[in-house]
Amino acid sequence: MNEPTTLKAEFRPELHFEVRPLAAVPFRAAQEDEFERLKNRLLSEKLFANSDPSLNAPVRRAANEAAALAWVSFYPLLVFPVLFEEKVRAALRQASRQTRIYAASRELVAA
pLDDT class of 82 with cuts at 50, 70, 90: very high
Give the phi and the psi of residue 17 in degrees, each rounded to 5: -150, 160
Look at residue 7 and tell me if it is in a domain: no
Q: Flag whether pLDDT at 39 surpasses 90.
A: yes
Whole-model pTM: value is: 0.69
pLDDT class of 24 with cuts at 50, 70, 90: low
pLDDT of residue 43: 95
- What is the extent of the structural domain holding 80? 32-110
Look at residue 3 and tell me if it is in a domain: no
The whole-angstrom separation of Cα 97 and Cα 95 is: 5
Quote the number of domains for the chain. Answer: 1
Look at residue 99 and tell me if it is in a domain: yes
| Residue 35, C-beta contacts closer than 8 angstroms, at least 6 positions apart | 67, 70, 71, 76, 77, 80
